[in-house]
């Protein structure tokens, strides 16, 4: 091969390699996803609260340390910290921010009008003024809701009443969070329809023993555990106290009944994490959040733990067992 042939071969090789190098560089881009939560982190890093969204992103090909950095920020129950934590995520150059709960989405919305936000929670974003409509959210905010047309709180009381038909007084465990008021209203309305008394007990400063002592003193026949991220994080303590006080209780997520709760009714938690991850993926690939309608779940699961029922000396009516999507023996 003469000199000209050699140079031509080398140039041809470079032309062929060039697209591959460009593709490789594109594939190696590292995305930053921020997650803003109002609670303290769970004790285990593999808990669904800490690992649910990263796990769902892994299923879509986003691997931490390779093409993904997850920036999680936890407010530790102090809502006043959320605005500062939202700004931290912006300073970390997050490509998209996932917010959990009303207080977190408000903090992120105030911090940025340009960085995409995917909200997640049990609230009405239109009523709160977060988006103009679910179908056309506009701006930089979209998301996935936990429940449609309300919070499912009234339905949970109805199901609990069916499990303990002789009970005439129930308690609602609520966090010290103004966002819980919609659930309180829905549960009070359901109590009126069912002809039962409802007593609302608020947990302050994480003092669950005191709250349960008050519920026991009120001689409640059953407990609706409010749907809140605090109560998911602290589920083992709540389930233990319900067992100690022999209180039939209904919860929000399947994980709570797997951990010993009596009943749960709601959407599938990991299914919602997958929908969140899908939205994050689409935004990272260029879709505007303004073009992604706010999603509402359409399928809900009733799960009953018969082992817990037996420990409480409670016979679950057969008609309710037949309605259950799953019964844990």
CA dihedral sign, ordered 262, 170, 246, 151: positive
- Go through the domains of the chain in sequence order and give each one's CATH number: 28-146+269-291 (3.40.50.2300), 153-266+301-328 (3.40.50.2300)
> How high is the mean pLDDT in each 10-residue block of the chain (329 residues)?
48 48 58 97 90 96 96 96 98 98 97 98 92 96 91 96 98 94 96 98 96 96 96 96 98 96 96 97 97 95 98 97 96
For position 27, what pLDDT does the model report?
52
- The DSSP output letter for 64 is B
**33 within 8 A of 91, measured Cβ to Cβ:** no
The single residue listed with the structure tokens 């009714």 is 265
142 bridge partner residues: 118
For position 206, what pLDDT does the model report?
93
Q: What is the pTM of this model?
A: 0.87
The single residue listed with the structure tokens 């959990």 is 100
249 φ/ψ sector (left φ>0, alpha ψ -120 to 50, else beta): beta
For position 125, what pLDDT does the model report?
94
Instruction: List all residues 6 or more positions away from 47 whose beta carbon is below 8 Å from its beta carbon.
Output: none
């Amino acid at each position: 091969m003469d000199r000209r042939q050699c140079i031509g071969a080398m140039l041809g090789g470079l032309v062929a390699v060039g697209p591959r190098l460009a593709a490789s560089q594109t594939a190696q881009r590292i995305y930053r996803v921020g997650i803003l939560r109002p609670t303290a982190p769970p004790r285990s890093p593999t808990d669904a609260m800490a690992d649910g969204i990263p796990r769902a992103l892994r299923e879509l090909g986003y691997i931490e340390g390779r093409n993904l950095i997850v920036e999680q920020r936890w407010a530790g129950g102090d809502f006043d910290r959320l605005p500062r934590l939202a700004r931290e995520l912006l300073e970390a150059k997050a490509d998209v921010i996932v917010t959990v709960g009303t207080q977190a989405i408000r903090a992120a919305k105030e911090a940025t009008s340009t960085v995409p936000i995917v909200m997640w929670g049990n609230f009405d974003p239109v009523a709160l003024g977060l988006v103009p409509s679910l179908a056309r959210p506009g701006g930089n905010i979209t998301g996935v809701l936990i429940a449609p047309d309300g919070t499912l709180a009234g339905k949970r009381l109805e199901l609990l009443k069916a499990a303990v038909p002789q009970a005439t007084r129930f308690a609602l465990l609520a966090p010290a969070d103004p966002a819980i008021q919609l659930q309180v209203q829905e549960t009070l309305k359901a109590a009126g329809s069912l002809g039962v008394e409802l007593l609302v007990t608020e947990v302050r400063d994480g003092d669950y023993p005191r709250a349960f002592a008050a519920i026991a003193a009120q001689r409640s026949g059953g407990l609706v555990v409010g749907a809140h991220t605090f109560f998911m994080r602290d589920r083992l303590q709540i389930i233990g106290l319900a067992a100690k006080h022999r209180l039939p209780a209904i919860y929000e997520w399947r994980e709570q009944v797997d951990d010993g709760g009596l009943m749960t009714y709601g959407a599938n938690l990991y299914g919602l994490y997958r929908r969140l991850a899908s939205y994050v993926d689409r935004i990272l690939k260029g879709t505007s959040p303004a073009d992604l309608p706010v999603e509402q779940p359409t399928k809900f699961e009733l799960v009953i733990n018969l082992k817990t029922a037996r420990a409480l000396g409670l016979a679950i009516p057969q008609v309710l067992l037949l309605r259950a999507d799953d019964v844990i023996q």
